[in-house]
Structure formats: C-alpha cells, structure tokens
Amino acid sequence: MTSPPIPVLTDLAAFRVAVAELPESARLAHDARGAVVVVEGAGEWWQAVRDAAASGADAVVVTAPGDAPAGHAAIVELVELSIPVVVSRPHLRVDVAADAVDARGSAIVRAVSVDGAAATDELAFVLRDAIGWMRLLTGGPLELRASHPTKRGVTALLEPHPGGTLGEPEVHSRRAPGAFSADPACTLGVGVLADGVTGAQLRIDVLGETLTEVTIDAVRGPARVVTAAAKGRLVSPPRYETAERLALRRAIAAVRSGEPPSDLNDLLHDVTLAAAMQEAPTAYLRQAQGIA
Amino acid sequence: MPRGVGVLGAGPGVAALHLPTLMRLPDDFEVVHVADGGSGRAEALAARSQARWSSGDEEVLGDPRVEVVAICSPPELHARQVLAAVAVGKRAIFCEKPLATTVADAVEVIEACRAANVSLLVGTNHLFDAAWGRAKHHLVARGGAVQAVSVTLALPPNGRYHDVVTEGGPFTGPNRGRPDVSRPEVAASVVRQLITGLAVHDLPALRDLAPLLEEVVFARFVAPVGYAVGYIASGVHVRLTTVMVPDGADAIWRMVITTPDDRIEVEFPPAFVHAGSALVSVRADDGRRTVYRRDAEDGYVAEWLVLAAMLDGGEPVEYDELLADAIYGIEVADAAAAAVVEGMSA
C-alpha cells in the first residue's frame, strides 16, 4: 500500500514547483503541523527552524543557510531537535558527492586540492562547501592545520582528524609533537572575485591512483564528476533534478524512515572550520602554543 | 650545419627525452658523444647516433666535436659541470633543471657564464611552451591582478611515457631505498628534492606571477611520494600539490591562475611525450569558456630551438633572469623544507 503524500509548507516558488514534481510523494500544506516546512536560510533562520518544530512540523528543509551567531550555538541547539532537518547547500549536493565517492570505490585518497573563486559576500558559503567536499571525499571529520586569509582570498591546509566527531570539529591540530601524518593533505585556495562579478566556482581534485575531478560552476550547468583510473575516464551522468526537489525527497524519506540525516552536524563541522579559516593566519608554531 | 652535442648523463632524461627530442632537430643538432657516471649505460645510448661514449666528464669536455654540452646528470652535479664546461672553453650549455642547488653555486655559475659569454639555457620546458606565453598574454591583456595560483600534479610511473618515445627500457634511476619520512629532517629533505626536481618546471612561471616570497603557510610530505605546499608571494596565494603513485590514471599536470575576473587553466601534456603544447582555457566572468588551440611544437623542442637561436645570435641570453629563477626555486624549496620540519615538530 503506497503512503499518502506528505504535506509541504512553503512560499518559495522553486519549492512549490518541486512539490508539483513529486505528485505522489508531496502536496502543498496550509500549516506546519505534520508537514515538511521549508525555511529560507536568510536572517535568523535557526529561529524559524525552532518555530517550525514547535508548530508540529515533521521535518524541516533549510535552503542556503546564512551565518549563524558566533560559536554556532544556534546550530548546536538545532541538532537536539527531535525532527529531521535537511540542509540544502548551493555548492554541495549530496547526490553529486555520492556519485564522486561511489565512483572511486576503495581507491586511496592521497590528497585533495580545491580551487575556488567567490564574491566577497559568498566567500564564507563557498569555503564551508569546499570543506564539506573534502570531508565527504576523505570520509570523515577534518581538522584545520594552517590557514592564511587575505583580501585576495584564503589558502588553507586541512587533514583528517583521527577520532574527531562531526559535531565538534577540531579547529587546531592537537597532534603529538613530532608525529608524522600519512593522512591525505587537503589543501584549498579560494580567490575573491571582483565587485559585480558573480557566480562562485569550485573545482575539487582528488589525487591518487584514481583521480576525481568535480567541477561546480552553476553558470555553466550541472556539476560535473569525472573519475580517471588506469583504464580510462568515467564521466558521471549529470544530476538534472533540481536542488529543491532533491531536498524535499530527502526530507520525505527521513520522515517515512525515521532516520534523520546528518546535515546539521555536517553543517556545524564545515561552518566552524570555515569561520576559523577566515580568522587571523594560523601556522604550526602559533598552534603549538595552544596544544595541551 | 648541425652543432655537435655532448651529453653528460645517461639516465631516463637522456634515453627517453633529450635523445628523442634532438632526433627531431637534425638540421640544428647532432649527438656526437654521450657520457655516463660509470654505469656503462652511455654505450647503448651513443650507439643510437653512432656517437662516441665514455664515462666521466673529461672526454666529453675534451671532445672537439662537442660544441653544445648538455648537462643531464643528477642535480647536485650541475653547477660543477657547468663551471667545468666553461673552463675548457665550451660556449654553449644546455643544463637540465635545476641550474644549481644552492644560491652560492647559482651565482657562481651565472657569473662564469656571463664573463665567458656562454649561451646558457636551463631546461624548464614549461617556460618555453607556447601555451604559457598565451596565458601570460591573456593576463597582461586583461590587466587583472593575480589572486591565486595552483599547480597540481598526479604522476604515475614514467615508464608508460618512455615506452611511446623510445625502446630499451625500463629506464629507472638508482634505487636509493625508502627514506624514513617519519623523521622531520628526512621528510623535509625529500620535499626539498621534489620541489627542485618537479615543482621547478613551473617555478619560473610562478616567479613571473608572484616574485617575492613572503611566507610559507604550510608544507608537508604526502604519501606515498609527494608534497603539499602553500605560500604567499607578492600577495598571491600559491599552492603546489604533487602526488607520485605506483600505478593508475594518466598523469595530470595543471596550473590554475585565478584573477578577480577569470580563471585560466594551463593543462600540460605528460612528461616525455611529444603531443604539442599545453592546452590553455579561460573561464571568463560571464561564464564563457574559451579554449585556445594547441601548438604542434612542445616545450622540449621549443627549448632546444631557443638554444639554437642563441647560437645563431638571434636570441639573447638573459643571465639575470636565469639567476633569479634559480634563486626563487632554491628559496621556495628551502622555505618549504623548513616549514615541513616546523609542522612535524609542532
């Protein structure tokens, strides 16, 4: 017996179209009770998420969440909610990331290199999504080892954090003195676009015996995933589904299965490291002064 | 009348790179003498051109048929061999990169060549690639400041590329065993060697874009063999990421230059092959992507032709630029090595 359509509460045109594109899974709702509530990620979006939960929503979709208050305590509180929260991020689609990871199979990640460009007001979002890509491609939480922000952009080194958790990322390395890392090096360089130039770009390269190239450039079309090994190159099929429809499907699936996505913990991890990356330059010696 | 070339070195760079390249320029050069360091490998290589062979430097440098000395030996020998060639009166030297491994040696070599009016060329083939010239022209024409540059390399063993340009392999260097890179000073030494051996291909171009080294943000060894280095130079964010793997995908060698308005990608062909110039593409601020045509001539051929032009008097020897390139490479390598030690000791 098929499940009845899940109600979706939204005023956003793109999400209303997405509901129309899910005629058997979703229907438009008039109030939050028992619905998937779509929250636009502007302003105090975290409060809007709490309000939706308090109003009886079964799940929430947050689209392109903006900055959260210092320390990201607001996001931490949302993690404690008992309803699923799906986060739709403009430069990090979970289905595209899954394509990239799946195509690699068990191939070892030797290094990840991210090149990007973003307008000043997009920089924080692009940085967090770049970190998200690194996290997904290396298979776990990261720690920030060094960073250098200037008005021209940001350069940084991150590495997998052994024993770390997504909800509480390590901002500075606590590795023992003299420890050698065989972990992949995750390096990032994002340049700032000129005033008036829009359209953030990300290029993610995974290096090793198997290469992965992910190109994200919305102006030029869907994200592109190419995987190269000894036998040749595989271009993954583009994901033509809209981000809005994908987000709704994920929320509906979470409601039906009872299995919440890790989106908020993922966001907390990425936002925390991105914010740290944009603070004063860090270097090994300065970090060493704070190591216990 | 082709000029006689005497080659010092009999490793993979000679067998699979310079000998095949020189065979493409029969009107300009003829290999007349090949010398190894005692391995005996020079005999088979010299036989390809009916050339003489020997071991050590003396016979090549004393051979009157040798007009151009091609120094293709291990990096630590380059400076000494350039000075020896100048001392015996040779007037043309092709020196594989790096020119020298210390600033003092680089200065001594350049001053000796300048004083003797020697035509000197350092084999940084990417610098001579027509595509690099095209990328530079685009930058100048657009006038935008460079924000960031990245150079990304993923390299499988060279054997697959040797196999398409020569026979008689495998051509491998001496087996030096596996270094203990858990020790900071060893990891730093390996990173330094890799920068002077691999990153050096693009360091002259990087010096064009970001000439004054300010700070190394990070530097570390990357397993199984490689490095990740980030530095700031003239305000430009520079990242170098290299991984050498035992097997797998075809090589990538890519430089990405980010300006406030556009992004320029220079994609070099794998080493050793003759597949034309690099491919330059530009992603403009409105999303347009322009792909420039490749040139049929690759950087390896181009650099030898520049040397021929120097010998004909049509191309000046830019001693100061050669010295500045050498010093930049050594400074980056030394600073990165120091940062590796700092990072592993923190």
In chain A, which residues have their Cβ closer than 8 Å to the Cβ of B145? 152
3-class SS at A87?
strand
CB contact under 8 A, A117 and B145: no
- pLDDT-derived band at B314 (thresholds 50, 70, 90) equals confident
Six token digits for residue B72:
């293709």
- Residue B279: helix, strand or coil by DSSP? strand
Provide mean pLDDT across the span B197-208: 94
Residue A230: count of CB within 10 angstroms of its CB: 12
For residues B7 and B1, what is the distance between their CA atoms, to the nearest angstrom?
A: 19
Residue A125: name the closest of A271, A287, A286, A291 by CA: A271
A229 pLDDT exceeds 90?
Answer: yes
Tens of pLDDT, residue by residue over B244-265, are 999 999 999 999 999 999 999 9
Cα separation, A84 vs A114, in Å, equals 30
Could B232 and A148 be called an inter-chain contact, meaning their C-beta atoms sit closer than 8 Å? yes
Whether the Cβ atoms of residue A284 and residue B346 lie closer than 8 Å to each other: yes
Q: Which residues pair with B255 in a beta bridge?
A: B151, B266
**pLDDT digits over B101-148, tens only?**
999 999 999 999 999 999 999 999 999 999 999 999 999 888 878 999
What is the rounded distance in angstroms from the CA atom of residue B296 to the CA atom of residue A108? Answer: 36
Average pLDDT in chain A: 89
| B326 pLDDT tier (thresholds 50, 70, 90) | very high
Chain B stretch 180-239, residues whose beta carbon is closer than 8 A to a beta carbon of chain A: 181-184, 187, 215, 217-218, 220-224, 226, 228, 230, 232, 235-239
Nearest to B346 among A177, A217, A220 (CB): A177
- Judge if pTM exceeds 0.95: no
Q: Hey, what amino acid is at B214?
A: E
At A166, the pLDDT band (50, 70, 90 cuts) reads low
- What would the pLDDT profile of B57-100 be if each residue is shown by its tens digit? 999 999 999 999 999 999 999 999 999 999 999 999 999 999 99
Q: Cβ atoms within 10 A of the Cβ of B21, count? A: 19
Chain B residues within an 8 Å CB radius of A190: 148
Instruction: Reply yes or no on whether the pLDDT at B330 is more than 90.
Output: yes
From the candidates A138, A180, A201, A285, which should be mutated to test the interface with B, based on the most B CB atoms within 10 A? A180
Cβ–Cβ contact B248 with A under 8 A = yes
| pLDDT the model gives residue A75 | 87
Give the distance from residue B216's alpha carbon to the nearest chain A alpha carbon, in angstroms: 9
Chain B window 90-149: which residues touch A at a Cβ cutoff of 8 Å?
A: 144-145, 147-148
Predicted confidence (pLDDT) at residue A176 exceeds the cutoff of 70 = no
Percent of chain A with pLDDT over 70: 88
